[in-house]
Amino acid sequence: MVSTNKMIRYNKYAMPVDPRVLKKDYESQGLDTIPELISLLKSIRSVEEYEAVDHIVRTQISDLWFLTNKGQGINLRDREKLLPVFQELSRIFKKKELLTSRVYRGVALPKIYKNLLTKSFIGDINAEREVNLHSHPKVIQKLEYLAYGLRSWTKYFDIANEWSYGTEEQDSIIFEAPSKFAVLDCNSYFNTMWEKIASSKIERLPFDFDEVICHLDNPKVSYIKMLEEKGINTNYWLVGIR
């Protein structure tokens, strides 16, 4: 389903609950810069005003958000501290102008879970490949924790699918949720600022194209559907969130 040599280079990991995963989390870097960044953004009243400070904001967000998949910037525990930053950018760049009705997020199950969905649900799926949500409540809870928090989503299923690959030993999940959870449509930023970024001597990106930053504080699983086989004992799963 996915070509591993075409993987998106940018991936932010889901919020794990298991302390075995949290134990491997790195220490946040740059937390002390967030209050000043929020204050700066609050002072801006227009896109024109923002353009004068974009290089400052872009560099700080790149440091805090863009490199988390490399163990740099803000860690899993602290990511909600960036919510006011993205809310201010949304105010400036009008996050809803380009949003689709649905957003998607692809994750590979953490390695401590591996193929938990396949082991739990493969014998319970119906003719439409849908799962009985009441059969394994603890697994449902784990999925809701994985969907929780301030995370990187996308407008496009295919991009989320690529993000979800991991390894053949891990189940792949594509979360689908209403765009009401969106905080910032990053394309609304790029549509205004890309020409300036491209001509800059410092071409540091704060986001990916087609990225939608979403905040889910109480996600609930509404459906689970097996999409197709992945490895010998793993599958791709579509998980609806409401």
- Is residue 138, in this structure, part of any structural domain at all? yes
- Is residue 2, in this structure, part of any structural domain at all? no
18 vs 65, residue with greater confidence:
65
What pLDDT is stored for residue 15 in this prediction?
46
- Is residue 3, in this structure, part of any structural domain at all? no
Q: How many domains does the chain have?
A: 1
- Is residue 109, in this structure, part of any structural domain at all? yes
Average of per-residue pLDDT across 36-45? 98
What pLDDT is stored for residue 9 in this prediction?
34
What pLDDT is stored for residue 28 in this prediction?
86
Q: Which domain holds residue 208?
A: 18-241
What pLDDT is stored for residue 202 in this prediction?
67
Name which of 29-43, 112-126, 190-204 the model is least confident about: 190-204
- Is residue 120, in this structure, part of any structural domain at all? yes
- Is residue 235, in this structure, part of any structural domain at all? yes
The count of residues in the chain is 242
- Is residue 179, in this structure, part of any structural domain at all? yes
- Is residue 6, in this structure, part of any structural domain at all? no
